[in-house]
Amino acid sequence: MNLEEQRLWLGQWRAAAIALQQQKAKDLRRLSDSEARRATESLLSLAGQINYDSKRWRTSGLVEQQQWFGKQMTR
């Protein structure tokens, strides 16, 4: 792909991104309050369907992350 083809390709993707963003904004403006509440409830209910490792509930992982960073700094 030469430079001009790359520019054209990139331009198409930029135009598509703008069009998609405009369509998303239009769709959100048309959304009724009840549809928005249903969509929000649906998204929030997904969290209850995920089976996490029991170890995850005891720690956020931040302490382990900091220990890992500390080990990396001492190398």
Instruction: Write out 18-36 in H/E/C secondary structure.
Output: HHHHHHHHHHHHHCCHHHH
pLDDT for the residue numbered 30: 96
List the alpha helices (DSSP H) in 31-55.
Answer: 33-46
Task: Look at residue 73 and tell me if it is in a domain.
Answer: no
pLDDT for the residue numbered 47: 79
pLDDT for the residue numbered 22: 98
Q: Hey, is 41 helix, strand or coil?
A: helix
Task: Look at residue 9 and tell me if it is in a domain.
Answer: yes
Task: Look at residue 48 and tell me if it is in a domain.
Answer: no
What is the model's pTM?
Answer: 0.50
pLDDT for the residue numbered 75: 67
| Cα distances (Å, whole numbers) of residue 23 to 17, 33, 43, 48, 62 | 10, 19, 21, 31, 39
Tens-digit pLDDT string for the chain (75 aa): 899 999 999 999 999 999 999 999 999 999 999 999 999 999 989 877 777 777 666 777 888 888 888 888 876
Domain limits for position 9: 1-40
Task: Look at residue 71 and tell me if it is in a domain.
Answer: no
Task: Look at residue 26 and tell me if it is in a domain.
Answer: yes
Task: Look at residue 13 and tell me if it is in a domain.
Answer: yes
Query: How many structural domains are present in the chain?
Result: 1
Give me 2's structure tokens.
């030469």
